[in-house]
Amino acid sequence: MEPLLTKLQSQLAELPVSVSLVLPGQRRLGPADAAVRLEFHDWSGVATLAAGQIGKVGEDYVEQRLNIEGSMRDVMTAAAAVLPGTPVASDTSWWTQMLRRAKSLASHTQQKDAEQIRFHYDVSDDFYALWLDPRRVYSCAYYREADMDVAQAQEAKLDHICRKLMLHPGERFLDIGAGWGGLLLWAAEHYGVNATGITLSNNQHAYVNRLIEQKGLQSRVKMLLLDYRDLPEDQSFDKIASVGMFEHVGQAQMANYFSKIHRLLAPGGLVMNHGITAGSLEPGQLGAGMGDFIGKYIFPGGELLHPSLVLRELAVGGLEMVDTENLRPHYARTLWAWSDALESRLDEAHAVLKKSHGESGAGRVLRAYRLYLAGCAMSFERGWIALHQILATRPDGNMNTGSLRGAQSVYPFTRDYIYR
């Protein structure tokens, strides 16, 4: 045991923030007035920390085998420092990749996708409302101006997407994975489109339909409880957006996903795919137990691909990438805004979750989300994961479509129109 404690003492001395450990039996390592305090209830958690398995340390916290005190920003600074190396996946063996693909195939049937989506998004609408912006936009914001707050940055993001898609009144617009309706309603109200949104979340479906009725938009906007694979293809859409959804599609289904979008999109039309991408060139999840933690408590079935692999699958699906933008640090700032908002309302969050999850369940969910939001903010800051907006077209084969010969779509092949 003493060699383990010696190792921990050495690690504590090198951390960028002060950390104290209260060991089983109440022995303390580190200063009493440390910024971060970890209290262990058994020795297995101490060994997990020494090994740098921060995802497992997080699991111990969620399951109350460990108590953590201190700001989430300080906790994550310490967590990053105890990692033995980068958590970006590095196992590229053919056997590992084959197993991952098989697991992906099994994890993304329509029934399992519906269950996995509802596990996350149907936690509690009131809980999400405590720390999201008033529009409940649950995806990366766009800080066009440095002094924007998260609500302003979310509106900037919604408009950024609509501008990229060149939305015009009367166009048929599809939002795949429409969440609580932020983009769907922004596009309808500000750009005059006829908008259709889909979700697998019962809560989101009911919430958005109430908003549509309240705003009197029933003639132009509809929200469906539907899997993207079940969308009828008898009518095409001029423009399509998928925001924060394709992380749930799975590697094994990615080519089919883009092929489906190709069939839904009118020739010459535009699609915006906005989603989290991996830092690793090969499919995998974050190491040090971080990916396992996310899969168990937050996003079961979630899978991230490197943008190079996303572009390959997009091309296999018959689409042409015309613009790609990395918003990675924007998502770090967004997540810290969400984390700070939740941290400021912990008592309210527990009371809200208690209504749907009971006393013990409320604490478990709240502890998991505290680590999830702050941990993801840290991961985006450090480049372990990223956020890419990929704009693509379905070329129509007509050399005279568009402002430049050979464009074969409405895309002007300049960026000026986005920023005017």
Residues classed as catalytic = 376
3-state secondary structure of 37: strand
Report how far residue 249's alpha carbon sits from residue 255's, in angstroms, rounded to the nearest whole number.
10
Reading across the β-sheet that carries 28-29, which strands appear in turn?
28-29, 19-22, 36-40, 66-69
The H-or-E segment that residue 159 falls in is helix 150-164
In this structure, the number of other CB atoms found within 10 A of the CB of residue 228 comes to 24
Q: Are 46 and 21 in contact (CB under 8 A)?
A: yes
Token readout for 379 is 């991961």
Integer Cα distance of 113 and 229 in angstroms: 11
- For 187-230, the DSSP string reads HHHHH--EEEEEES-HHHHHHHHHHHHHTT-TTTEEEEE--GGG
CA distances from 302 to 143, 167, 371 (A): 26, 30, 17
Give the closest residue to 246 by CA, choosing from 264, 231, 260.
Answer: 260
The tokens for 289 are 């137990």
